[in-house]
Amino acid sequence: MTAEPIRVSTEWLDLRERADAASRSGELVDELRRHLPARGVLVIHDLACGTGAMGRWLAPLLPGPQHWVVHDRDADLLEVAAVDVPAPAADGSRVAVEARRADITRLDPDELAGATLVTASALLDILTEDELAGLAGLCAGVGCPVLLALSVTGRVRLAPADPLDARVAAAFGAHQRRVTRSGRLLGPDAVPAAVSELRRLGTDVIVRPSPWRLGPDQVDLAAEWLTGWVGAACEQEPGLAPEAAAYAERRLAEARAGELAVTVDHADLLVLP
Ligand SMILES: C[S@@+](CC[C@H](N)C(=O)[O-])C[C@H]1O[C@@H](n2cnc3c(N)ncnc32)[C@H](O)[C@@H]1O
């Protein structure tokens, strides 16, 4: 059992921001625009905002004045989100940010009252089944669109292939589903679990792929991701460590030489009331 919560570093969120922005589904944003009010200030709650990357990506893609309420339990990340605010809206309107320190698994529905949009990014796969059910209930009850971006699906492809890829991937998948003090994490099961729960609660859910495609222009992120991927796999399956050390060295050399392409599949969900 893992002692939780695990903290996410600003450096990691910084490193992944460009890849995240390139991966989130533009098609779902086009659909989302059709479901937002044409007038007035958009009140957008971003749950588990980290350093606020979701707002920096989405705010300039939406028209009209926006008030972003960004929630996270990590005060350090929240501080960055409050300062590194999004660019103006698509039509040049003002975008304001209000930071709230909160555990999003304990939010009272009243805290989202008046929301015109709820968002979250890179969150669902680190929740337990109970936490996801709570979040789905909150999303279904809020009565506005909800955009849940970048949940891992468990599929990873590396090119060129290596005989150890599949074993590392399987051990990493098991690590993502590990038992923590809060319960078993959903990991790659999060997307089907969220879709089924949200549909059961009567919402429409549109799912689109949002894969990370890391090539020679994302060497630093690919190297950091690889190190974390192999490290988590070995933590889960210590017997893998002797072989994995040489594997990691080989793969990192390929990544740094721009000779490795990594695809990490994610999915985005647009939930419509
Ligand atoms: C992988 S990061 C994603 C951050 C941001 N949404 C992004 O896309 O860059 C996950 C974030 O969830 C936050 N988090 C995880 N569980 C949380 C909880 N129960 N309540 C509030 N924040 C939480 C972490 O502090 C972290 O900022």
For the chain (273 residues), the mean pLDDT of every run of 10, in chain order, is: 74 97 98 97 98 98 98 98 98 98 97 97 98 98 98 97 96 96 96 98 98 94 96 97 96 94 97 97
pLDDT at position 7 is 86
Q: Is 74 in the pocket of ligand 1 (CB under 6 A)?
A: yes
Residue 89 and residue 72: Cα distance in Å, rounded?
A: 23
Tokens 């698509």 -> residue: 90
Q: Is 122 in the pocket of ligand 1 (CB under 6 A)?
A: yes
Measured CA to CA in angstroms, residue 226 lies from 187, 243, 248 at distances of: 17, 15, 7
Give the tokens for residue 78. Answer: 């929240």
Q: How far is the CA of 14 from the centre of ligand 1 (A)?
A: 14
Closest residue (by CA) to atom 8 of ligand 1?
121
Q: How far is the CA of 72 from the centre of ligand 1 (A)?
A: 6
pLDDT at position 2 is 56
Closest residue (by CA) to atom 25 of ligand 1?
74
| Whether this model's pTM surpasses 0.75 | yes
